[in-house]
Structure 1
Amino acid sequence: MESNRVVTRSRLVSDLRRLGLETGQVVMLHESVRAIGWVVGGPDAVLDAVLDVVGPTGTVMKLIGSEDGTYENGRLAGPGEAGLPRGVSRFFGPDHASVQRVGDLVRVPSHEAGSLPQQPSRGVVRGRRSRRRMADGGAPAPARIRPRFALERLLQAGGKVLLLGALLDAVTMLHHTEYAADLPYKRAVVYRAPVLAGGLREWVDIEELDSSDGIVKWPGGDYFGILVRDFLEAGFGRRAKVGFADSVLMDANQLHRFGRAWMERELRPYSYPSEG
């Protein structure tokens, strides 16, 4: 342990408020605990500090995934074929989520009472009084491209995106922006997943935009980091240290509008089906 890098929960609370996080806000969290420093209480203290700031009327949203890798494995199979043995993969529902952490938090938020995971492969969870208005409704329709409704509700709630030492390309909300961007062509994937319907497990084919390889064949790889960098350089968002981590707080709606215009301008030359 480096004694000069010790960070307490109370310091995190102070730093978060200095960054601009406020009571009652809805915030989507991405974190790198290693970047923050040696946190007293471990990664859980980071989540607790954010919850301390937003208070009982606020909501903290966090990306989680299926421990069975439903999306990654299911997309290896063609439509109508299961990528994983049906006896192995478990459905992803509010009361039956077998989750895998995405980020550094040890206490996965979906293990909290009242949290509502959504999507069969990955979800956005955690909240207090306002949590239910952030949840997706029902199981996804088979073979249909659909926006990520929990992320849409982040926008409707006037929410924020918080990066605590996380890379700029970690902004999950921009996947929702990809649905909104007006482009001639977007790459999509189809994968199989088990969902809970009427108390029974049902396998469905789900089609959505490609969130792994990108919606177009962009020559520079992952464009989210470039987009967010341009957003910050345009004067949007707030930056400050939280612990020892370079951190960013962004208005989700500002980022969504900026991101949509950026995608429609920068991605359009690459928005066409791949040959072969």
Structure 2
Amino acid sequence: MPVPPPTGPLVTRTTLTTDLRALGVLPGETLLLHSSLSALGWVCGGAVSVVQGLLDALGPNGTLTVPTHTGGNSDPAQWRRPPVPQEWWAGIRASMPAYDPAITPGDGMGTIAETVRRWPGALRSAHPQTSFAALGPRAATITDGHATDCSLGEHSPPARLEEQNARVLLLGTDFSTCTAFHLAEYRMASPRTEMGRAVLTPVGRRWETVTEVDVSADGFDELGADFERDGAVVRGRVGGADALLFPVADAVAYAQGWLARHRA
């Protein structure tokens, strides 16, 4: 059976930059990107062209940030998609590779984010489960000081991005991916949970358990729809993808009020 030709649109580095500028991306600004390569259409050069187009739109003074989370580095007792047999748990805890910012790949963050992580000059934060990578002159400011017991709170890149007046770019993804909303959870009386993970220490690998805010994206699509209705969200098209652009600070402030009203 013949394979049908791609339906397009044809997306290139140049068309991406043009579309991003038309959306409102500004040279010199800082972006937090959540993205889907497949949503863009047929991209000549794949994720590399996307990153090049983003860097072209931002210019040499702009900074691009992406999530490079490693959710698989977690306690197997909490795994649900899928669960693993209980008799495996001890073996997994004993053998899970420790998080290493230099080599541990992101888990489920997409090809574009993984390309940024591996880009020459990219810096990556230290949290063993919710790291971020950044490219540009503000990369160190964003990634340094990510406390290993503060996944998405005051001592994490989302808080630094808020301070830098960064904006979120959802490129072919929806509000359920918006990590900025999680910063609002840290500023509320949110429940806490124990989190297990493998970490590197000066004396080698070990398994540790810490207490973290129990973040959840439940309801983020509804939250995002209300935020877009009431807030300063720019919606447009980049390639074949829907794209949304909005300030981190506005998203966090709106989420705090919304979550207080909608979560018990």
Fold agreement, TM-score > 0.5: yes
State the number of aligned residues: 250
Residue of structure 2 equivalent to 1:63? 67
Assess, with a 3 A threshold, how the Cα gap between structure 1 residues 42 and 145 changes in structure 2: closer, same or farther.
Answer: closer
| Partner Cα separation in structure 1 for residue 151 and residue 236 of structure 2 | 37
Q: Which has the higher helix share?
A: 2
Residue of structure 2 equivalent to 1:137? 145
Residue of structure 2 equivalent to 1:159? 166
Residue pair 2:125, 2:146 contacting (<8 A) in 1 also: no
| Partner Cα separation in structure 2 for residue 96 and residue 41 of structure 1 | 24
Please, which of 103, 115, 139 is the counterpart of residue 108 of structure 1?
A: 115
Assess, with a 3 A threshold, how the Cα gap between structure 1 residues 84 and 17 changes in structure 2: closer, same or farther.
Answer: farther
Note the residue ranges of structure 1 that are not aligned, 5 or more in a row: 215-221, 271-276
Residue of structure 2 equivalent to 1:246? 242
Assess, with a 3 A threshold, how the Cα gap between structure 1 residues 26 and 241 changes in structure 2: closer, same or farther.
Answer: same
Note the residue ranges of structure 2 that are not aligned, 5 or more in a row: none
Residue 89 of structure 1 deviates from its aligned partner by 1.6
Residue pair 1:63, 1:122 contacting (<8 A) in 2 also: yes
Residue of structure 2 equivalent to 1:262? 258
Assess, with a 3 A threshold, how the Cα gap between structure 1 residues 230 and 73 changes in structure 2: closer, same or farther.
Answer: same
Residue 145 of structure 1 deviates from its aligned partner by 8.2
- Deviations along 1:143-179, one digit per CA (max 9) or x if unpaired, are x887251110010110010011112211011111111
Residue of structure 2 equivalent to 1:234? 230
Assess, with a 3 A threshold, how the Cα gap between structure 1 residues 84 and 118 changes in structure 2: closer, same or farther.
Answer: farther
Assess, with a 3 A threshold, how the Cα gap between structure 1 residues 74 and 23 changes in structure 2: closer, same or farther.
Answer: farther
Residue pair 1:97, 1:117 contacting (<8 A) in 2 also: no
Comparing 193-202 with 13-22, greater Cα deviation is found at 193-202
| Partner Cα separation in structure 2 for residue 223 and residue 256 of structure 1 | 15
Residue 227 of structure 1 deviates from its aligned partner by 1.0
| Partner Cα separation in structure 2 for residue 62 and residue 248 of structure 1 | 15
SS at match of 2:110: coil
Is 1:88 the counterpart of 2:92 in the alignment?
no
| Partner Cα separation in structure 2 for residue 83 and residue 49 of structure 1 | 45
RMSD: 2.6
Matched to 1:132, the amino acid is A
Assess, with a 3 A threshold, how the Cα gap between structure 1 residues 211 and 103 changes in structure 2: closer, same or farther.
Answer: farther
Comparing 104-113 with 164-173, greater Cα deviation is found at 104-113
Q: TM-score, normalised by structure 1?
A: 0.80
Matched to 1:259, the amino acid is A
| Partner Cα separation in structure 2 for residue 223 and residue 230 of structure 1 | 11
SS at match of 2:221: helix
Assess, with a 3 A threshold, how the Cα gap between structure 1 residues 99 and 41 changes in structure 2: closer, same or farther.
Answer: same
Comparing 40-49 with 13-22, greater Cα deviation is found at 40-49
Residue pair 1:16, 1:242 contacting (<8 A) in 2 also: yes
| Partner Cα separation in structure 1 for residue 229 and residue 91 of structure 2 | 44
SS at match of 2:165: coil
Assess, with a 3 A threshold, how the Cα gap between structure 1 residues 74 and 108 changes in structure 2: closer, same or farther.
Answer: farther
- Deviations along 1:159-217, one digit per CA (max 9) or x if unpaired, are 01001111221101111111113x4xx333212222233363343212222235x6xxx
| Partner Cα separation in structure 2 for residue 87 and residue 45 of structure 1 | 40
